[in-house]
Amino acid sequence: MYSSLRNSLCLLWLNFSNTFVQHESSHMLKHFHNIILPAIFSITFFPATAQVNEPKATNPDWSKPYPPFRIAGNLYYVGTYDLACYLITTTQGNILINTGLASSADQLKKNIETLGFKFRDTKIFLTTQVHYDHVGAIAEIKKETGAQVIVDEKDAPVLAEGGSSDYAFGGNGMIFQPVKPDRLLRNGDTIQLGNMQVIMLHHPGHTKGSCSFLFTVNDEKRSYRVLIANMPTIITNKRFADVTTYADISKDYAYTLHAMKNIRFDIWLASHASQFNLHDKHKPGDAYNPGGFKDQQGYDAALTDLQKQYDEKMRKE
């Protein structure tokens, strides 16, 4: 019922926006877009009492604790051994990116406080994707901190439905506690908090609203341009043509693989520690070393491998 109602309201909004844009400026359309769509989600997400059935994590590294550490400047790693979560501190509170599994909430809080920061100072929550292993604890974190939840507009419906409409893992009810987004983002939008500006890059395929984040941090010696990349891994065993709930999946992967080749950065990270070889670059207790994360070659190699996987799958379509 909720999904049907949401889809009808979203269709009504899209029809409205197509007419509106013919008569008003794109600035005004964006203003309405950021107000109306969150309102739609606020009245259509599942009741808090509905049953949540998180898929069983088959990788023990997803829940294995890992000591938090300073990556570069005001950027910190606060995730588990493999599920990468990041804290960006600012003059007006902090930005948290990703949460890990539902059971990761306590670890996340402990890691942040171990670094000397207050968990309640989390003002903004971002995510690279709305799969359950990256937003499982979002509802609990929002409840405790009151953080503003900001997501790519294409992932917003799945977030508001608790993952029930996730093309890869949905179909059997909610897989995480639903949360309505407070703000929706489009490619190139900026998130501002205190002295920090974070640019969202729309990189769909892995999910409809997968995204990466680009920003600059500073330490005592220099500045670093950081890319937190959502790598476009292919997780469906189906033919792309058979993924009926995501009709543009093959086009989105092609777009993202091209777009990610043209990003300039000093340091790159990803949604999973294994994707950027964290454990080869940093050992618990290591001294502060931003230079250890300068890995253009590793980034290029990862994209090349993903391009090969995509090309191979397309040949079988």
CATH number at residue 201: 3.60.15.10
Report the number of distinct structural domains present in the chain. 2
**d(C-alpha 23, C-alpha 25), whole Å:** 7
Average pLDDT on 125-148 reads 97
1-59 tens-digit pLDDT: 444 445 445 444 444 444 443 444 445 545 545 555 555 554 444 444 468 999 887 79
Residues 38 and 117 in one domain: no
Asked if the structure places residue 53 within a domain, the reply is: no
Higher-scoring residue by pLDDT: 265, 12: 265
Q: Are residues 83 and 26 in the same domain?
A: no
Q: Is the pLDDT at 129 greater than 70, yes or no?
A: yes
Mean pLDDT lowest among 78-87, 146-155, 165-174, 301-310: 165-174
pLDDT at residue 7 in the model = 46
254 and 128 both lie in a single domain: yes
Instruction: Tell me: do 22 and 136 sit in the same domain.
Output: no
For 46-104, write each residue's pLDDT tens digit: 444 468 999 887 799 999 999 999 999 999 999 999 999 999 999 999 999 999 999 99
Tokens for 94?
A: 């902090």
Do 131 and 232 belong together in one domain? yes
- Asked whether residue 207 is domain-assigned, the answer is yes
Domain membership of residue 121 (yes or no) is: yes
The model's pTM: 0.86
For residue 47, tell me if it sits in a domain. Answer: no
* CA–CA distance, 194 with 243 (Å, rounded to integer): 42
How far is 191 from 177, CA to CA, in rounded Å?
24
Please say if the pLDDT value at position 300 is more than 60.
yes
Mean pLDDT (whole number) for 127-153: 97
25 and 159 belong to one structural domain: no
CB 130 within 8 A of CB 163: yes
- Look up tokens 């892995």; give the residue: 206
How far is residue 294's CA from residue 210's CA, in Å, rounded to a whole number?
23
Quick check: is 151 in a domain?
Answer: yes
Strands 183-185 and 148-152: parallel
Residues 87 and 165 in one domain: yes
- Cβ contacts of residue 137 below 8 Å, gap of 6+? 99, 100, 101, 102, 103, 104, 105, 108
- Cα Rg of the chain (Å, integer): 19
Q: pLDDT tens, 236-255? A: 999 999 999 999 999 999 99
Residue 130 and residue 190 in one domain: yes
* Sign, Cα dihedral of 61, 246, 142, 201: positive
CA–CA distance, 71 with 27 (Å, rounded to integer): 36
User: What's the rounded mean pLDDT across residues 114-135?
Assistant: 97
- Please give the span between the terminal C-alpha atoms of the chain, in angstroms, as a whole number: 34
pLDDT at 57: 74
Containing H/E element for 11? helix 2-20
125 in any annotated domain: yes
278 found inside a domain: yes
My answer on whether 124 and 1 are in the same domain is: no
The answer to whether residues 24 and 84 belong to one domain is no
Identify whether 115 is part of a domain.
yes
SS3 241: helix
pLDDT value at 317 more than 90 = no
Tell me: do 169 and 214 sit in the same domain.
yes
Range of the domain at 13: 1-42
User: Do both 70 and 15 map to the same domain?
Assistant: no
pLDDT band at 172 (very low <50, low <70, confident <90, very high): confident
Q: Is the pLDDT of residue 313 over 80?
A: yes
